């Protein structure tokens, strides 16, 4: 493990632990754990200028800030995804971070990579995860070449493309009749019974450590300027919490001089974090609400967000927002993102843009502000939703004379 | 147009033309055209060492060698795809180039980008292409943010994911009841009638100019060493011809001191180039044979290869090979590539690995040789084939007690 790690702190009860004392959650209260680093030592040994000479354009450029002992061998090209400045009608400085360009097509690869490398350093040979689809296809993809066996639990409604990825990479897939939450509980039971190392998002504190690299990249790609807003979809809360951790790391180390406001976007049909943020605003403690999730955006369809406490804290601490949008607006956003900027995102991936529109309409965003939207997954992972969003534009031509007819009408 | 361009030469009749005299094909014999550069001037003005300082990791790092006037604005991240050294049982030095990491998920983006930018420089506002799927989805993707309208002609058997990409990016799609070749002919007729600029692969000489950047990257990523073999699937022949053009450019400019052997891989169910190579070996001229293509690898399902002459020349000039494999071996290669190296390719994308196996079995490859296989397209573009290749590995769990049963059997 990285020598700059000082320990882990429970997000719920604040108790501090040595790394050797913990595996997944707080031994006292079963809260999620946050890995703590010695920011001062990192600042002294890795000045910001050291990145100017760094020619490694992947998540591994941030190795000193990650919970690993050494540089992984033969990894797939991971992270350093494009951050595009894109035109918009709002007068803001809008950037789109395209996470669909990762190896398995989603931001999840950042988390998976760290968990897998840590597992390999520890000599673990079997991993498991619960997944709405992307975490599982990511685990299957990145483990394929490492001699590590994997078992994935998914809800039976996971899209076919994600299942196909898991199958082709050779993972063992269990399709659970029920929700993501059912798959999650079964996965924990299986890993406890069989001793498999559990990657499940939020539950395993290393997932947040992987996802924080996305925040590092955003700041470095903006030449260490901090955006005013970061907008991203929220399911179990772990991407939002990972991003927030990343920004707080950079602030702690002294690379940046302020923090962005975090905006989480949920579907009305899966809005547990939204309810939790609202109830937390009137109370001292954070309670995570449960819902019956049914959104078309399968990657954020979650009844009980497993990294919810950290996500709610991120929104409150950053003086950000939680935004709810309809599934209809999410489908429209697929089209918007594709036709304006040439990026094809899955429903959960583009929900941030539906959120952006709402933030603009309600006057929250100010002209001139720097805003980053994160497209969390590739649209090829859910072709059915894209076809729904685009309506049927395909015209059939049966013959040469058909063509003449058609061309005459153009 | 680039000041280093000297003109264009017909691949069939060898007649030379000024750039201003040509648009698509040779005005005399309708052969395909090859753009010619002043290698000596390029050598003098762009020494190989100039690339050491070049921090632009995309196809645009090779701008002086491309048929464009100036650096495009706001382009999507294109090219500089990973070249992975991967373990193998043959004792060769094997590298996999993953072209599925391009914006629309295929190597076609290299060609589309050049055609689109040249079109924009010329003030053209409507483009069209015939496509088995990838060229169309690539054109749709890259044109989306440029204010350029597009119309695509595809055979009715094009996979759903590629159609979905075209639709969501807002292109007008014509599904032609028939083959790729039927779509090709209709597309040329439409572009002639309506004045649309035609991107169709091979027909438009700029597609080869885009694809050659893949060869540049391979050499630069190997620190300007030349592989012994480059293996890639062949449909209409344009990827093979583009790669060969790229290597010949570098050789002409003096960046490399020898040329690789080019191995083209076809399905027995779409083997026009294989037949043409064989018949050309006994004759002075190259005649392109036609077949009735029916391979599962839709991207290389072609009756009459439209850039066949150049492709056959590449194989003969380089003293390479044409290899035919069964569709069954192609499906098996999807699994091999995924499970050994963590890369998910579409059927045509992984055909090179089926070809590699055959080249090894027949004793053509020698131990220690450097071999590059090019995965031309992302597996998410054809999930159906992946599911066929992986068999059904999904197990269903209906309840907690089901899980107990299942875990007991592990």
pLDDT of B84 over the 70 cut: yes
pLDDT of B85 over the 70 cut: yes
Q: How far B182 CA sits from the closest chain A CA (Å)?
A: 9
A45: exposed, middle or buried (Cβ count in 10 Å: 0-12, 13-18, 19+): exposed
pLDDT band at B406 (very low <50, low <70, confident <90, very high): confident
**The residue to which tokens 């290669």 are assigned:** B333
**B346-394 pLDDT, tens digit each:** 999 999 999 999 999 999 999 999 999 999 999 999 999 999 898 767 8
* Neighboring chain B residues of A334 at a CB cutoff of 8 Å: 168
* Neighboring chain A residues of B391 at a CB cutoff of 8 Å: 167
DSSP string, B249-306: HHHHHTS-SS-PEEEEEEETTS-HHHHHHHHHTTSSS----------S-GGG--SS-T
pLDDT of B283 over the 90 cut: no
Helix, strand, or coil (residue B73): coil
* Neighboring chain A residues of B76 at a CB cutoff of 8 Å: 82, 84, 342-343
Interchain contact, B397 vs A175, CB within 8 Å: yes
**A137-196 pLDDT, tens digit each:** 999 999 998 989 999 999 999 999 999 999 999 999 999 999 999 999 999 999 999 999
**pLDDT for the residue A132:** 93
pLDDT of B184 over the 80 cut: yes
**pLDDT for the residue A392:** 63
Interchain contact, A407 vs B193, CB within 8 Å: yes
Q: How far B346 CA sits from the closest chain A CA (Å)?
A: 11
Q: How many whole angstroms separate alpha carbon B134 and alpha carbon B298?
A: 10
* Neighboring chain B residues of A170 at a CB cutoff of 8 Å: 335, 338-339, 390
Q: How many whole angstroms separate alpha carbon A16 and alpha carbon A30?
A: 13
Backbone angles phi, psi at A68, to 5 degrees: -130, 155
**B136-146 pLDDT, tens digit each:** 999 999 999 89
pLDDT band at B218 (very low <50, low <70, confident <90, very high): very high
**Mean per-residue pLDDT, B46-74:** 93
Interchain contact, B163 vs A386, CB within 8 Å: no
Out of B338, B398, B407, name the one closest to residue A144 (CB): B338
Interchain contact, A398 vs B177, CB within 8 Å: yes
**B107-117 pLDDT, tens digit each:** 999 999 999 99
Closest Cα in chain B to A399: B177
Tell me how far the alpha carbon of residue A231 is from its chain's centroid: 12
Closest CA to B315 of B342, B288, B343: B288
Mutate to test the interface with B, among A168, A171, A223 (most CBs of B within 10 A): A168
DSSP string, B204-235: BTHHHHHHHHHHHHHHHHTTTPPPSEEEEE-S
Q: How many whole angstroms separate alpha carbon A110 and alpha carbon A347?
A: 20
- Say how many CA atoms lie within 13 Å of B231 toward its Cβ: 29
**pLDDT for the residue B117:** 96
Q: What is the β-pairing status of strands A126-130 and A149-155?
A: parallel
Tell me how far the alpha carbon of residue B134 is from its chain's centroid: 10
Closest CA to A219 of A351, A103, A370: A370
Q: How many CB atoms lie within 10 A of CB A366?
A: 13
* H or E element that contains A396: strand A394-397
Question: What percentage of chain B has pLDDT greater than the value 90?
Answer: 90
DSSP string, A10-40: ETTT--EE-GGG-SSB-TTT--BEEEEE-HH
Domains and CATH numbers, chain A: 83-103+206-390 (3.40.50.1100)
Out of A76, A86, A175, name the one closest to residue B394 (CB): A175
SS3 content of chain B, % helix, strand, coil (to 5): 45, 20, 35
Q: How many whole angstroms separate alpha carbon A387 and alpha carbon A393?
A: 9
pLDDT of B98 over the 80 cut: yes
Out of B85, B175, B193, name the one closest to residue A395 (CB): B175
**pLDDT for the residue B146:** 92
Q: How many whole angstroms separate alpha carbon A220 and alpha carbon A217?
A: 5
Interchain contact, B398 vs A170, CB within 8 Å: no
**pLDDT for the residue B392:** 63
SS3 content of chain A, % helix, strand, coil (to 5): 45, 20, 35
* Neighboring chain B residues of A381 at a CB cutoff of 8 Å: 380
Interchain contact, A403 vs B190, CB within 8 Å: yes
Interface pTM, i.e. ipTM? 0.94
Interchain contact, B397 vs A85, CB within 8 Å: no
Closest Cα in chain A to B381: A380
**pLDDT for the residue A336:** 96
* Contact (Cβ atoms closer than 8 angstroms) between residue A50 and residue A58: no
Helix, strand, or coil (residue B194): helix
Interchain contact, B403 vs A82, CB within 8 Å: no
Interchain contact, A344 vs B168, CB within 8 Å: yes
Closest CA to B374 of B260, B250, B253, B205: B260
CA atoms B30, B268, B200, B63: torsion sign: negative
pLDDT band at A408 (very low <50, low <70, confident <90, very high): confident
**A285-318 pLDDT, tens digit each:** 899 999 999 999 999 999 999 999 999 999 999 9
Q: How many whole angstroms separate alpha carbon B300 and alpha carbon B164?
A: 20
Tell me the residue ranges of DSSP E strands in A222-369: 229-233, 261-267, 321-325
Closest Cα in chain B to A86: B74
Q: How many CB atoms lie within 10 A of CB A281?
A: 10
**pLDDT for the residue B295:** 95
Q: Which residues pair with B5 in a beta bridge?
A: B37
Mutate to test the interface with A, among B117, B163, B344, B409 (most CBs of A within 10 A): B344
Backbone angles phi, psi at A98, to 5 degrees: -100, 95
**Mean per-residue pLDDT, A82-93:** 95
Backbone angles phi, psi at B35, to 5 degrees: -75, 135
How many Cβ pairs closer than 8 A exist between chain A and B? 215
Out of B168, B189, B410, name the one closest to residue A390 (CB): B168
Q: How many whole angstroms separate alpha carbon B22 and alpha carbon A275?
A: 64
Closest CA to B82 of B60, B106, B109, B100: B100
Task: Enumerate long-range contacts of A57-60, CB under 8 Å, 24 or more apart.
Answer: A57/B57, A59/A110, A59/A113, A59/A210, A59/A213
Of the listed ranges A113-117, B154-158, B367-371, the least confidently predicted one is B154-158
Q: How far A386 CA sits from the closest chain B CA (Å)?
A: 6
Q: How many whole angstroms separate alpha carbon A390 and alpha carbon A336?
A: 10
* Contact (Cβ atoms closer than 8 angstroms) between residue B170 and residue B145: no
Q: How many whole angstroms separate alpha carbon A325 and alpha carbon A311?
A: 18
Q: How many whole angstroms separate alpha carbon B315 and alpha carbon A271?
A: 59
Q: How far B66 CA sits from the closest chain A CA (Å)?
A: 23
Closest Cα in chain B to A400: B186
**pLDDT for the residue B285:** 86
**B247-257 pLDDT, tens digit each:** 999 999 999 99
**pLDDT for the residue B409:** 78
DSSP A260: P
* Neighboring chain B residues of A186 at a CB cutoff of 8 Å: 397, 400, 403
CA atoms A223, A229, A231, A237: torsion sign: positive
* Neighboring chain A residues of B170 at a CB cutoff of 8 Å: 335, 338-339, 390
Q: How many whole angstroms separate alpha carbon B114 and alpha carbon B61?
A: 13
Mutate to test the interface with A, among B100, B382, B383 (most CBs of A within 10 A): B383
pLDDT of B56 over the 70 cut: yes
pLDDT band at B73 (very low <50, low <70, confident <90, very high): confident
Helix, strand, or coil (residue B382): coil
pLDDT of A274 over the 70 cut: yes
* Neighboring chain A residues of B399 at a CB cutoff of 8 Å: 177
Q: How many whole angstroms separate alpha carbon A252 and alpha carbon A250?
A: 5
pLDDT band at A242 (very low <50, low <70, confident <90, very high): very high
**pLDDT for the residue A282:** 79
């Amino acid at each position: 493990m990285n020598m700059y790690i000082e320990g882990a702190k429970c997000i719920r009860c604040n108790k501090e632990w040595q790394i050797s004392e913990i595996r997944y959650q707080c031994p006292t209260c079963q809260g999620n754990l946050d890995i703590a680093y010695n920011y001062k030592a990192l600042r002294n040994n890795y000045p910001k200028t050291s990145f100017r000479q760094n020619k490694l354009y992947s998540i591994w450029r941030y190795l000193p800030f990650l919970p690993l002992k050494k540089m992984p061998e033969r990894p797939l090209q991971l992270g350093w995804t494009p951050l595009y400045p894109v035109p918009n009608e709002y007068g803001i400085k809008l950037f789109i971070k395209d996470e669909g360009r990762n190896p398995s097509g989603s931001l999840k690869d950042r988390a998976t990579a760290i968990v897998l490398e840590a597992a390999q350093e520890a000599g673990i040979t079997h991993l498991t995860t619960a997944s709405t689809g992307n975490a599982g296809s990511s685990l299957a993809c990145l483990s394929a070449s490492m001699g590590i066996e994997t078992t994935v639990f998914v809800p039976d409604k996971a899209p076919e493309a994600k299942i196909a990825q898991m199958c082709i990479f050779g993972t063992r897939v269990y399709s659970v009749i029920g929700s993501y939450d059912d798959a999650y509980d079964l996965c924990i039971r299986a890993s406890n019974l069989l001793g498999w190392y559990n990657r499940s998002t939020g539950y395993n504190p290393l997932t947040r450590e992987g996802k924080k690299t996305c925040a590092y990249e955003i700041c470095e790609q903006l030449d260490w300027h901090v955006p005013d807003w970061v907008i991203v979809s929220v399911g179990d809360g772990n991407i939002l919490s990972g991003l927030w951790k990343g920004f707080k790391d950079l602030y702690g180390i002294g690379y940046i001089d302020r923090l962005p406001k975090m905006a989480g976007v949920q579907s009305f049909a899966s809005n547990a974090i939204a309810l939790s943020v609202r109830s937390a605003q009137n109370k001292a403690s954070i309670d995570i609400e449960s819902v019956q999730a049914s959104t078309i955006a399968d990657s954020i369809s979650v009844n009980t967000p497993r990294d919810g406490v950290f996500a709610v804290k991120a929104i409150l601490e950053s003086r950000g927002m939680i935004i709810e949008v309809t599934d209809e607006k999410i489908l429209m956003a697929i089209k918007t993102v594709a036709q304006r900027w040439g990026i094809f995102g899955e429903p959960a991936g583009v929900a941030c843009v539906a959120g952006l529109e709402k933030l603009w309409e309600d006057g929250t965003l100010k002209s001139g502000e720097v805003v980053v939207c994160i497209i969390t997954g590739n649209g090829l992972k859910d072709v059915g939703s894209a076809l729904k969003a685009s309506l049927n534009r395909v015209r059939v031509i049966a013959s040469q004379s058909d063509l003449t007819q058609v061309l005459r009408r153009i």
